[in-house]
Chains A and B, each alone.
Chain A
């Protein structure tokens, strides 16, 4: 296990460096820059504005400048939001995205798992058909469409929730639901399949034969076996929730990392976009490692090397 973790850590570092380098040169090769504006300035002022961020230096010099600072965790100042350091932008945006992501994940798990278990236990019942259709819709409908419908119904018809914004607990409800929906749908499908698979196995029959209560059989024996595909889906799901939140954050006007990332990229704020790319990449890599580790915890037959 320790060897596995050390090797993983080295790979994560190499991957981060590659992602950094690739994003850096990709970004600089796109025309335009953080200083582009409709208004042009006298060359002297233009030079000074660019000098401030080393933009007049050749690429390798800039790359070295940014990379060497990034190694110390300093992503320098934002090139567009002049009053802020990139670290300030990330530390303000991350809690918003993380809160939204965790709530959506929890919601997706609770809804998905319960719907999946119910569907499997009452297979082919009306409830099963209903959950399955809902899941199909949930997967098929992109979350911005869902958000639109949710706003129409819950904001303008029922007037239950605010249209957008960030500041009160109630502000999180609609975005978390919209973000969670497709994942809940997918998880319910995975759970249902997993459960059906497990319920037909010998050890479940044995458990029933021993005279255990069916709730004990289901929750203690069956669910654990059915959980494995769901857990392996968690890695991609976290990545999905991170990228999915770009759209949701924008629609619901949440000042999360997704919003900052979109803005930084469109405004060519090199330092900020690089900083956010790094944080997100690190997060996805770490999440994947955690998922791999959890396999072993759930199923002792799996050994990590």
Chain B
């Protein structure tokens, strides 16, 4: 019998539905996690060297552990201290330049290899390597010669190392700047002393391309060591990363020139040494009082050499390949869904890690997050939809006395501010900028718009850093503002051109900008326009100084005023105001090498006062961290940096049952 073709369609549909239903039913019934939290955006990578974000930090801190770790102080859990991690102790030399870390002997990687000082030498070299596009590499530039190494800055007379172009990645393509898939496993390395740097230019004027080639006295090795005193052999090298036209010209003009992956200052010159398996000696360029905090910061966490050399990047980050040394292991990742972490039984302090399975969900929508929280699907949420804030506060207020609230709001080291484009008149006049600042009533903004207990700001560096006085702008003072504006030649705002406030798409930014618009009109008779741009466009405009006023925020990388202040040095990448002040630059620079901590903070205060007087930025408010956590989660403490290590958290099961029963949840 002939099969009637017209049945094909319904049959196909039936078949597809059956497949879909089977897929649905086949969903592996995952064991539920002990602890689930909303981590915000999907993490860009779990390689500690490749990321800078907060969500990434939470996952990486769970997978890897650094020399030191930041934990709540047992005496006062709302402050963080640096506690021993993979290092048990350290000594600091009298000149505050040399740190000697003692690495614990009982720590192993998940592949069974012991964790040694050499792991840091490898990891930090990879981190600083000129060919690894690591975003946070500059956090290690406090180490002697690290910056030179990282940026391949060389001078005649330097000891240099050269990687020959005989390495290839998994796809067998040559490794040129940034394009190498492996980034680190190295080709043949030659060492020598740089004798000449020759600059070659092709083309004229604007189209001119320049490149360099290097003449090096290559030293031989003796007994596996480089013999720096030998006569050596003169060779010339050019980097593969040079512009094509320049490279061609050099290859044509210079006989015997060799193409190389990179040429940089010799690694032996960088202040990172393993003197034995368990001793790491780090020499800094300048005394850096917050160096221990940096060492505890996730980009500095070690990565496993065997794993990286076997799989290369990014394959080494796959759950089936990754080797880590932290309290948790990576069980699986589902893109933009969840990362599942499981307790690492080999972790040195495993007996104090209480949670077995943790799910980090990549939920983006605040509302979805709150729905899931209220439905008992997640235990900790890292942001709150502002419209729900009041209801949540009421809910907490109605709780029995003594029980923990769900909402945990506390000050943090982040400042919301406006950048002023100091290259555009009349904003190039400090009196005008000061007038703008004094005419903004910040109290009104935190009271009616942000509403979660944010603090009006009169400085860039948030309050709360011990021993730091800071610089201040002075309080809201419309009268003084009018006087300053008149002094600058705009009495009652007459003749003042219309200015624009730039912000990225977000309800709160828009509301704040409108309030400032009204206040400037009311207090100074200045007309202000609002310009809303989508995130990437806004960033580009801000970078290119295409704005009058632009909304911004900055979060501390480490608990020290320097993290805020060093961004405003002349031509700093994050300055983005066009502002420059020689005295300020000098103070920031000098403070970096000031060994006396009190004096150093004084210098930074002085610098901040200059910043506040000159007002290239208008501080608006200091942030608060807004977490919402189920009260049965133990050891969750609000702190200035909003850090919540996962491995100290614990679930009070009885309390959980009680709360779920009371709310009718499963």
A103–B46 CA distance with the chains assembled, in angstroms = 34
Q: Shortest Cβ distance from A212 into chain B, in angstroms? A: 19
CB interface residues, A 39-54, toward B, < 8 Å: 39-45, 47-52
Q: Once the chains are docked, how many angstroms separate the CA of A266 from the CA of B534?
A: 9
Task: Please determine whether B543 and A40 come into contact, CB atoms closer than 8 angstroms.
Answer: yes
State whether the Cβ of A184 lies closer than 8 Å to any Cβ in chain B. no
Indicate whether B382 reaches chain A with its CB closer than 8 angstroms.
Answer: no
Task: For A37, list chain B residues within 8 Å (CB).
Answer: 52, 135, 539
A251 to B363: give the CA distance in the assembly, Å: 10
Interface hub of B177, B178, B314, B574 (most chain A Cβ within 10 A): B178
Enumerate B615-640 residues with CB–CB distance to A below 8 Å: none
Asked if A112 lies at the interface with its beta carbon under 8 angstroms from chain B, I say no
Contacts of B539 in A (CB 8 A): 32, 36-38
Check A81–B335 contact: CB distance below 8 A. Answer: yes
Q: Cβ of B230 < 8 Å from any Cβ of A? A: no
User: 0/1 per residue, B346-370, Cβ < 8 Å to A?
Assistant: 0000000000000001111101100
Q: In the complex, what's the smallest C-beta–C-beta distance from A187 to chain B, in angstroms?
A: 13
Interface-lining segment among B11-19, B190-198, B208-216, B474-482:
B11-19
Q: Is A106 an interface residue (CB 8 A)?
A: yes
Instruction: Give a binary string over B527-551; 1 marks a CB under 8 Å from any A CB, 0 the rest.
Output: 0000000111101110100000000
Judged by a CB distance under 8 angstroms, whether A172 is at the interface is yes
Q: A45-B137, A95-B23, A159-B664 are in contact. Are A266 and B535 (CB under 8 A)?
A: yes
Partner of A83, one of B45, B151, B365, B372: B45
Is A231 at the interface (CB under 8 A from chain B)?
yes
Interface residue ranges of A71-122 to B (CB < 8 Å):
77, 80-84, 88-89, 92-93, 95, 98-99, 102-103, 105-106, 109
Within the complex, the shortest CB–CB distance from A252 to chain B, in Å, comes to 7
Please state if A49 and B47 are interface contacts (CB–CB under 8 Å): no
**A266 proximity list for chain B (CB < 8 A):** 534-536
Give the secondary structure class of B's interface.
loop
On whether the beta carbons of B178 and A36 are closer than 8 Å, the reply is no
Report B395 CB to chain A, min CB distance, Å: 14
Q: A168 with B29: in contact, given A40-B543, A253-B372 (CB under 8 Å)? A: yes
Residues of A within 8 A of B372 (CB): 162-165, 253
Using A42-B573, A259-B336 as known contacts, say yes or no to A102 and B537 having CB atoms under 8 A apart: no
Asked if A268 is at the interface of the complex by the 8 Å CB criterion, the answer is yes
Contact A31 B541 (CB under 8 A): yes
Complex Cα distance, B535 from A38, in Å, reads 9
Contacts of A36 in B (CB 8 A): 535-536, 539-540
Q: Give min CB distance, B382 to chain A, whole Å.
A: 15
- The CA-CA distance from A109 to B336 in the complex, in Å, is 30
In the complex, what residues of B have CB within 8 A of residue A52's CB? Answer: 133, 178-179
Interface residues of B in 220-252 (CB under 8 A from A): 241
Q: Tell me the complex Cα distance, A59–B590, Å.
A: 44
In angstroms, Cα B367 to Cα A21, docked, is 37
Among candidates B17, B314, B318, B535, residue contacting A106 with C-beta atoms closer than 8 Å: B17
Question: Is B377's CB within 8 Å of the partner chain A?
Answer: yes
Q: For the complex, what is the distance from the CA of A89 to the CA of B16, rounded to whole Å? A: 22
Q: Is the pair A263, B42 in contact by a Cβ cutoff of 8 Å? A: yes
A49 touches B6 (CB 8 A): no
Q: A31-B536, A42-B138 are in contact. Are A253 and B361 (CB under 8 A)?
A: yes
Q: B131 contacts which chain A residues (CB < 8 A)?
A: 48
Residues in chain A near residue B20, CB distance under 8 A:
98-99, 102-103, 106
**Does the CB pair B368–A252 fall under 8 Å?**
yes
Establish whether residues B177 and A163, one from each chain, have CB atoms under 8 Å apart when the complex forms: no
The residue of chain B having its C-beta at the shortest distance from the C-beta of A169 within the complex is B24
Which of A38, A103, A162 is B21 in contact with, Cβ under 8 Å?
Answer: A103
B52 A93 Cβ-Cβ under 8 A: no
Q: Does A240 interact with chain B (Cβ within 8 Å)?
A: no
Q: Are A39 and B23 in contact (CB under 8 A)?
A: no
Choose from A49, A172, A250, A294 the contact partner of B9 (Cβ within 8 Å).
A294
A155 touches B535 (CB 8 A): no
How far apart are B345's CB and chain A's nearest CB, in angstroms? 25
A131 at the interface (CB under 8 A from B): no
Interface residues of B in 505-540 (CB under 8 A from A): 534-537, 539-540
User: In the complex, how many residues of chain A place their beta carbon closer than 8 angstroms to a beta carbon of chain B?
Assistant: 67
Residue of B nearest to A84 (CB): B335
Expressed in whole angstroms, the Cα–Cα distance for A266 and B42 within the complex equals: 13
**Is B5's CB within 8 Å of the partner chain A?**
yes
CB contacts under 8 Å to A, within B168-209, are 176-179
Interface residues of B in 424-450 (CB under 8 A from A): none
- Is residue B44 contacting chain A, with contact meaning CB distance below 8 A? yes
In the assembled complex, the CB of A88 is this many whole angstroms from the nearest CB of chain B, namely: 7
Chain B proximity of A184: nearest CB distance (Å): 15
Q: Are A77 and B314 in contact (CB under 8 A)?
A: yes
Task: Give, as a whole number of angstroms, the nearest-CB distance from B474 to chain A.
Answer: 28
Q: In the complex, what's the smallest C-beta–C-beta distance from B405 to chain A, in angstroms? A: 21
| Bound complex: CA A99 to CA B25 (Å) | 11
Q: Please indicate the chain B residues that have their CB under 8 angstroms from the CB of A213 in the complex.
A: none
The yes or no answer to B116 lying at the interface (CB within 8 A) is no
Chain B hits for A255, CB < 8 A? 334-337, 362
Cα–Cα, bound, A224→B9 (Å): 12
Q: Does B374 contact A (CB under 8 A)?
A: yes
Which B residues touch A298, using CB under 8 A? 6, 9
Task: Determine whether the beta carbon of A49 is less than 8 Å from that of B178.
Answer: yes
* Docked CA distance A48–B131 (Å): 7
Q: Which residues of B contact A31 (CB under 8 A)?
A: 536-537, 540-541
The minimal Cβ–Cβ distance linking B31 to chain A, given in whole angstroms, is 11
Q: What are the residues of chain B within 8 A of A42 when measuring CB–CB?
A: 138, 151, 573
Closest to B41 in A: A263
Residues of A within 8 A of B50 (CB): 82
Q: Is the CB of B335 within 8 A of A51?
A: no
The answer, yes or no, to whether B397 is at the interface (CB within 8 Å) is no
**Residue B375 at the A interface, CB < 8 A?**
yes
Bound Cα distance A163, B374 (Å): 9
Asked if A231 and B9 sit within 8 Å, CB to CB, the answer is: yes
B8 at the interface (CB under 8 A from A): yes
A267 contact set on B, CB distance < 8 A: 536
Q: Mark A243-266, 1 if CB is under 8 A from B, else 0.
A: 000000011110100011001001
- Taken together as a complex, chains A and B put the C-alpha atoms of A245 and B664 apart, in Å, by 31
- Does A156 make an interface contact (CB < 8 A)? yes
- The reply on A33 being an interface residue by CB < 8 A is yes
Residue of B nearest to A85 (CB): B314
Central interface residue in B45, B314, B336, by most chain A CB within 10 Å: B336
B575 → chain A closest CB, angstroms: 9
A30 at the interface (CB under 8 A from B): yes
A164 to chain B, nearest CB (A): 5
Task: Give 10 A-B pairs besides A102-B17, A168-B27 with Cβ atoms closer than 8 angstroms.
Answer: A44-B151, A99-B20, A151-B371, A155-B371, A155-B375, A163-B374, A165-B361, A167-B30, A260-B336, A294-B9
Q: Which 6 A-B pairs have the closest CB atoms?
A: A32-B536, A40-B573, A51-B178, A255-B337, A163-B371, A48-B178
A-B contact pairs, 14 of them (CB 8 A): A31-B537, A31-B540, A39-B52, A44-B151, A51-B176, A51-B179, A52-B178, A81-B335, A83-B333, A166-B337, A255-B335, A266-B534, A267-B536, A298-B9
Q: What residues of chain B have their CB less than 8 Å away from a CB belonging to chain A? A: 5-6, 8-9, 13, 16-17, 19-21, 23-25, 27-30, 41-42, 44-47, 50-52, 130-135, 137-138, 150-152, 176-179, 241, 314, 317-318, 333-337, 361-365, 367-368, 371-372, 374-375, 377, 534-537, 539-541, 543, 552-553, 573-574, 576, 664-666
